[in-house]
Amino acid sequence: MNPSPEAAANRPRRRGLLRLRQEIPRPVFIAAGWAVPLVLLLLWWAVTASGLVQKLFLPSPGAILAEGWRQLSEGILLHDAAISTYRILLGWSAATLIAVPVGILMGTYRLAEGALEPFISTVRYMPVVALIPLTILWAGIGDAQKILILFIATFFSQALMVMDNVKGVDGALIRTGQTLGFTEGEILRRIVLPAAAPGIWDTLRITVGWTWTYLVVAELVAANEGLGRRIMDAQRYLATDTILWGTLFIGILGLVTDLAFKRMGQRLFRWKGGPK
């Protein structure tokens, strides 16, 4: 039986939502982003409301929000967030200021890649938690130690990713610069760096997310304040509502940071095109 005209008209539209790299309407894109969290939230509420899981192991969404409101009304939340954000910014910024030039150097010159890449690749696999005693010996127990942990957790992977961004620049562009008589410095400044800049920006966006994930590790020892410290203290008393709220709030701050980087990248690299 032949399909009706209405079904035939709708079929390409429905199929287009799942085509490879095919653009979809902006409202559909936004709705899809909200759908998964809402479904998970409903499942969470249903499980806790039915009593299938004790609240010690999984508090209800209402209990999590109540804990968040308590911390906000008492001034705890904003204070902890300000301290943790300060540590994140310093640790990530210090790593970025060194990793970007090192990555560009390794991506541009094979000698630099051969000299630095094996060492950096080895260190990036070392567990950061195991380095906590050493960082205390090197930097004490103050903020410097927390920032150092965040630096170590970010720098090595970031440098390798920047290297790959630079190495990914089309060789034809470099040969074109050589044909035009550009010096190596001009090729690097006028061709390689502009071409690699969008990828480097995405690397910065991804690595700042990694820095947020290491916050609890950084505030694990000898910290009296901060979001990570609040989570660690709550574990001692099995305060799962505080643990879950702190974890979710760190995730929200990370998401806000990610969206800010995306928006800024769209403005900086409008010539690249792509979805807005």
Q: What is the pLDDT of residues 112-123, one digit of tens each?
A: 999 999 999 999
Q: Kindly state the average pLDDT of the residues 208-212.
A: 91
Q: Name the nearest CA neighbour of 151 among 100, 220, 88.
A: 88
Of the chain, the percentage scoring pLDDT greater than 90 comes to: 45
Among the ranges 187-191, 221-225, 234-238, which has the highest mean pLDDT value? 187-191
13 pLDDT above the threshold of 80: no
CATH 1.10.3720.10 fits 70-267, yes or no: yes
Q: Kindly state the average pLDDT of the residues 132-144.
A: 87
What mean pLDDT value characterizes the chain? 86
pLDDT at 275: 45
Give 99 or 187, the one with higher predicted confidence: 99
Q: Please write the tens of the pLDDT for every residue from 238-269.
A: 889 999 999 999 999 999 999 999 999 988 88
Reported as a pLDDT band with limits 50, 70 and 90, residue 35 is confident
- Dihedral angle of Cα 254, 35, 265, 168, to the nearest 10 degrees: 100
Reported as a pLDDT band with limits 50, 70 and 90, residue 88 is very high
Q: Name the nearest CA neighbour of 60 among 39, 46, 77.
A: 46
Q: Kindly state the average pLDDT of the residues 211-222.
A: 85
Q: Name the nearest CA neighbour of 158 among 87, 208, 228.
A: 208
Backbone angles phi, psi at 184, to 5 degrees: -60, -40
Alpha-carbon distance of 228 to 247, in angstroms, equals 8
pLDDT at 11: 52
276 pLDDT above the threshold of 60: no
Q: Kindly state the average pLDDT of the residues 70-94.
A: 93
Amino acid at position 60, single letter: S
Alpha-helical segments (H) within the chain: 5-16, 26-50, 61-73, 76-108, 110-123, 132-139, 143-167, 171-179, 184-187, 193-213, 215-218, 227-236, 240-268
Tokens 């906590």 -> residue: 132
25 pLDDT above the threshold of 80: yes
Of the chain, the percentage scoring pLDDT greater than 70 comes to: 92
1 pLDDT above the threshold of 70: no
Give 101 or 224, the one with higher predicted confidence: 101
Q: Please write the tens of the pLDDT for every residue from 39-56.
A: 988 998 888 888 888 888
- Dihedral angle of Cα 45, 49, 50, 55, to the nearest 10 degrees: 100
Q: Kindly state the average pLDDT of the residues 175-182.
A: 85
Least confident stretch, 24-28, 135-139, 220-224 = 220-224
SS3 208: helix
